[in-house]
Each structure stands twice: as structure tokens, then as C-alpha cells.
Amino acid sequence: MSTHNQKTRVVVTGLGCVTPLGLGHQDFWSGLLEGRSGVSAITFFDTTAYTTKFAAQVNDFNPEDFINKREAKRMDRVIQFSVAASRMALEDAALSITEENADQVGASIGSGIGGMHTFETWHRTLVEQGPNKVTPLFIPMMIPNMVSGQVSIQFGLKGPNFAVVSACATGGNCIACAIDVIRTGRARVMLAGGTEAAVTPLSVAGFCSMRALSTRNDDPQHASRPFDRERDGFVMGEGAGILVLEDYEHARARGARIYAEIGGYGATADAYHITNPDPNGDGAARAMKSALEDAGLRPEQVDYINAHGTSTPVGDPCETRAIKKLFGDHAYKVAISSSKSMIGHTLGAAGALETVVCVLAVHTDRIPPTINYVHPDPECDLDYVPNVAREAPVQVALNNTFGFGGHNAVIVVNKFNNIDG
């Protein structure tokens, strides 16, 4: 891996976002810096019988702003999000797909859950009306790989195309796989990220039954409170994040604007439990260590960590322990924040949207806050950038994403400098 790393630098040239704070990376970024909450009462279905009645929904999304009307009808909402975010990212990168370059451009985009709107709608039809009434589009609208497959179809991308599924680590692992594709020369450009649209009756019921969600129904905007002592579970979110990753030489040759450089990644497994993280934070610490080694960096060079920070009683202390385990004294000097305090937990999209946050933090030297941080927790005693954004030099940022099943993915983002090597 190190030989590829020395030969091929991977840079970020485009960003596309569908989020509860708005569409496009500018609206997303300004919402984060303002400390706005995108959490509100669920409007997609009747929540009367649910223990949790709120989520971070994407409320102003019209698929026809991004996709031909006929095509949009053949896509689940989760696919519409990935196509829309990819269109924004390609436009932001000023990258045109042509017959000459199509086979050098690929996509690595995943979803943790897939087309749940489609799944639930047509299952209901099956039960109520019988098998002959189920649409022939059911499978291609529902299967998770279509979040990447449809992107390749819509934009004519003929390079490597796949979808990684690793629960809440999906977005991070998709970016990691895209890095490897570019480093090994299988493509010059990759659209990489994740998408999720699982604010549906069955998905929310499942998470409610696990008692994983906050039940702060009287105050939804303050429900997602990572690292705060009174946190009581995560808040479901939805959206998509797509990054255009390029071989540096390719980006330079076409005069692309470069936001940041991807230094490396780490991926590990807890091998511990189907939903709970390793209480010692061992898997997370090893993933961060591996990512920094891949990037050729030491822990004390990290300025900012965009934490997984889900606002769960178990998860936040585990991540804090993992950071302390790897960073030692520097753990108390590094700025840490959780975007989930504002956009909820976007599951398969989280690692992608939060890598976008790291890219913009490095690009602008600004760090978004962890909102709703009011009651310090003795188990979570690091600098979580409480409530107010911060201006500070950010040369190196880490994004942590950890998923059910013990999946850990960490991405390193470096400030770009145009010195080769």
C-alpha cells in the first residue's frame, strides 16, 4: 500500500450534499457553523404509536430538480439522494464525463439499509393485493447497489462501480475503497460516499424496539447531544454525501480546484457484538492508528477529529476512551466535534457527510461545534467544541465512523499543498 501512496496522491475536487440542513455543501456548511439543528417531528408517517416521534428529515428535496421525471419515478428516495448529490459534486468539480474519459471515472457509493421506502410500500401491496400487483421495478429500486449503479447510468461512468454496505461505517468504507481504486491505477477519478433514506415506519420501529433512539419528544431539537451527560440515544437522519476524488496528476492536468488531500484510511473490526462497540475502544483506536500510519502521520499532528459521536450512552464514552488510548496527552489538545448533534445519524451517509465536514474544516480553518452540549460527563472529558464554531488552523482532520457489526472506518484529510511527494 505504501508504494501506491508514494506514487499516487488522492485529492478532493468536488462535493455534493443532500442534508437536513439544506442541499449543496455551502448550505450544509453554513448550517453547521451556525449550530442549527435539522431535527423536527417526523412528517412522513403517523408516529402516534411510536416511542420516538422525530428525526432529521430532508424536507426541501425535489428529485426533479436533479433527475428526469420519468427516471426519478424508477428510483427509491435513497437512490434519488445519491444521484442528486453526485450531480452537485460533478458540477462542483467542473468535471465533464466524455467518451474519452468515461472508463477512467468510477463510483463507490453505499447505503447501510437500501431502498426501505420501496420495500415497505410494495410489501404492503403484496399482503393486501397479492403477488401479481408487485411492480417489476421492485428489485432494481430496492437493492442497495443501485445507489451506485444508477449514478453510473445517469452520468455515464464506466470505471469501477460498487456499493459497500457496512452499516454506519458505509460512507467511510466507500471512500476507503475509492482511495484504493485510484492508488492502484484502476481509475483516475472516483465518486465516493454514502446515502440513506430510512426514516420509514419499519426502520424507525426497529430502532425504537432496540431502544437506540432518543425519546426526547417534547424537545426534538435538543435531543441529539453527543458527549453530554444527559444523552439518551441517537436521532435518525437521512441524506447523502458524495466526494469527487482524483489522482492528483489528473486534477492538476485539468486545472481543477482542490479542496484537500485524502491522506489515508484505516479499517478494522471490533469482533465483539452485533450492536455495541468494544467497551475499551480497541477497534476504534486501531482504526485511527492504521489511518494515521497509512497517511504517514503521528497522532500529535491531528488538529481536528469529526467524531462518530452518536449521542448514545454506550457509544460516546467508548469513542472517548479510544481517542485517549491512541492520542495520550494530545487527546486533550485536539478539537473534537460531532455533526450528528445537528443532522442526526444519517447511517450509511454519515461517514461521507462527515468526511465532507473534515474537508471543509481543513479548507477553511473552521471547526463546527457539537451543539446541545450542556452537562459535562466525567467519562467524556475532552474538547468537544461545545455549542459554538471555532476558527483554528486545521492541517490534519480525522473522520471516525463505526457501524453495527463492529465495523470501524477512519479517513484522514490533509490540507492540500502543491509540493509533490
The CATH number of whichever domain residue 30 belongs to comes to 3.40.47.10
Binning pLDDT at 50, 70 and 90, where does residue 12 land?
A: very high
Considering the domain architecture, whether residues 161 and 16 belong to the same structural domain is answered as yes
From 253, 288, 306, the end of a domain falls on 253
Write phi, then psi, for 32 (nearest 5 degrees).
-65, -45
| Interaxial angle between packed helices 350-364 and 25-34, expressed in degrees from 0 to 180 and rounded to the nearest 10 | 80
Q: Is the pLDDT of residue 7 over 80?
A: no
Q: What is the pLDDT, as a whole number, of residue 55?
A: 98
Q: Is the pLDDT of residue 5 over 90?
A: no
In this prediction, residues 294-313 reach a mean pLDDT of 98
From 221, 253, 285, the end of a domain falls on 253
294-303 tens-digit pLDDT: 999 999 999 9
In this prediction, residues 247-261 reach a mean pLDDT of 98
In this prediction, residues 30-36 reach a mean pLDDT of 98
Residue among 25, 117, 250, 345 flagged as catalytic:
345
Q: What is the pLDDT, as a whole number, of residue 334?
A: 98
Q: With respect to residue 139, please indicate whether it lies within any of the assigned structural domains.
A: yes
Taking the CA atoms of 244, 249, 254 and 255 in sequence, report the sign of the dihedral they define: positive
Share of the chain above pLDDT 70, in %: 98
Considering the domain architecture, whether residues 208 and 66 belong to the same structural domain is answered as yes
Considering the domain architecture, whether residues 293 and 238 belong to the same structural domain is answered as no
Q: What is the pLDDT, as a whole number, of residue 6?
A: 63
Active site residue 222: no
In this prediction, residues 99-115 reach a mean pLDDT of 97
Taking the CA atoms of 88, 90, 96 and 97 in sequence, report the sign of the dihedral they define: negative
In this prediction, residues 185-196 reach a mean pLDDT of 98
Q: Is the pLDDT of residue 124 over 90?
A: yes
Cell of 142: 430496492
Considering the domain architecture, whether residues 241 and 354 belong to the same structural domain is answered as no
Going by C-alpha positions, the residue among 169, 125, 120 that lies closest to residue 142 is 120
Cell of 401: 465512523
Considering the domain architecture, whether residues 49 and 136 belong to the same structural domain is answered as yes
Q: With respect to residue 341, please indicate whether it lies within any of the assigned structural domains.
A: yes
Residue 354 to residue 360: CA distance in whole angstroms: 10
Q: Is the pLDDT of residue 177 over 80?
A: yes
Considering the domain architecture, whether residues 311 and 361 belong to the same structural domain is answered as yes
Share of the chain above pLDDT 90, in %: 95
In this prediction, residues 329-354 reach a mean pLDDT of 98
Q: What is the pLDDT, as a whole number, of residue 419?
A: 59
126-159 tens-digit pLDDT: 999 999 999 999 999 999 999 999 999 999 999 9
Q: Is the pLDDT of residue 2 over 50?
A: no
Active site residue 123: no
Q: What is the pLDDT, as a whole number, of residue 34?
A: 98
Q: Is the pLDDT of residue 415 over 70?
A: yes
69-102 tens-digit pLDDT: 999 999 999 999 999 999 999 999 999 999 999 9
Q: With respect to residue 259, please indicate whether it lies within any of the assigned structural domains.
A: no
Residue 214 to residue 236: CA distance in whole angstroms: 9
Q: Is the pLDDT of residue 272 over 80?
A: yes
Q: Is the pLDDT of residue 421 over 70?
A: no
What integer best gives the mean pLDDT of the chain?
96
Residue among 308, 358, 380, 407 flagged as catalytic:
308
Considering the domain architecture, whether residues 312 and 356 belong to the same structural domain is answered as yes
Considering the domain architecture, whether residues 214 and 328 belong to the same structural domain is answered as no
Range of the domain at 305: 264-414
Q: With respect to residue 11, please indicate whether it lies within any of the assigned structural domains.
A: yes
Write phi, then psi, for 119 (nearest 5 degrees).
-55, -50
Residue among 17, 168, 177, 358 flagged as catalytic:
168
- Cβ atoms of 311 and 214 within 8 Å: the answer is yes
Considering the domain architecture, whether residues 10 and 152 belong to the same structural domain is answered as yes
Number of domains composing the chain: 2
In this prediction, residues 376-386 reach a mean pLDDT of 98
Considering the domain architecture, whether residues 7 and 84 belong to the same structural domain is answered as yes
Q: Is the pLDDT of residue 396 over 80?
A: yes
Binning pLDDT at 50, 70 and 90, where does residue 417 land?
A: confident
Q: What is the pLDDT, as a whole number, of residue 77?
A: 98
Q: With respect to residue 258, please indicate whether it lies within any of the assigned structural domains.
A: no
Q: What is the pLDDT, as a whole number, of residue 275?
A: 87
Considering the domain architecture, whether residues 198 and 297 belong to the same structural domain is answered as no
Q: Is the pLDDT of residue 40 over 70?
A: yes
In this prediction, residues 46-63 reach a mean pLDDT of 97
Considering the domain architecture, whether residues 53 and 186 belong to the same structural domain is answered as yes
Q: With respect to residue 51, please indicate whether it lies within any of the assigned structural domains.
A: yes
From 210, 225, 253, the end of a domain falls on 253
Q: Is the pLDDT of residue 346 over 80?
A: yes
* 3-state secondary structure string across the chain: CHHHHHHCCEEEEEEEEEECCEECHHHHHHHHHHCCCCCEECCCCCCCCCCCCEEECCCCCCHHHCCCHHHHCCCCHHHHHHHHHHHHHHHHCCCCCCCCCHHHEEEEEECCCCCHHHHHHHHHHHHHHCHHHCCCCHHHHHCCCHHHHHHHHHHCCCCCEECCCECECHHHHHHHHHHHHHHCCCCCEEEEEEEECCCCHHHHHHHHHCCCECCCCCCHHHCCCCCCCCCCCECEECEEEEEEEEEHHHHHHCCCCCCEEEEEEEEEECCCCCCCCCCCCHHHHHHHHHHHHHHCCCHHHCCEEECCCCCCCCHHHHHHHHHHHHHHHHHHCCEEECCHHHHCECHHHHHHHHHHHHHHHHHHCEECCECCCCCCECCECCCCCECCCEECCCCEEEEEEEECCCEEEEEEEECCCCCCC
Active site residue 407: no
Q: With respect to residue 421, please indicate whether it lies within any of the assigned structural domains.
A: no
| Interaxial angle between packed helices 350-364 and 170-183, expressed in degrees from 0 to 180 and rounded to the nearest 10 | 70
Q: With respect to residue 128, please indicate whether it lies within any of the assigned structural domains.
A: yes
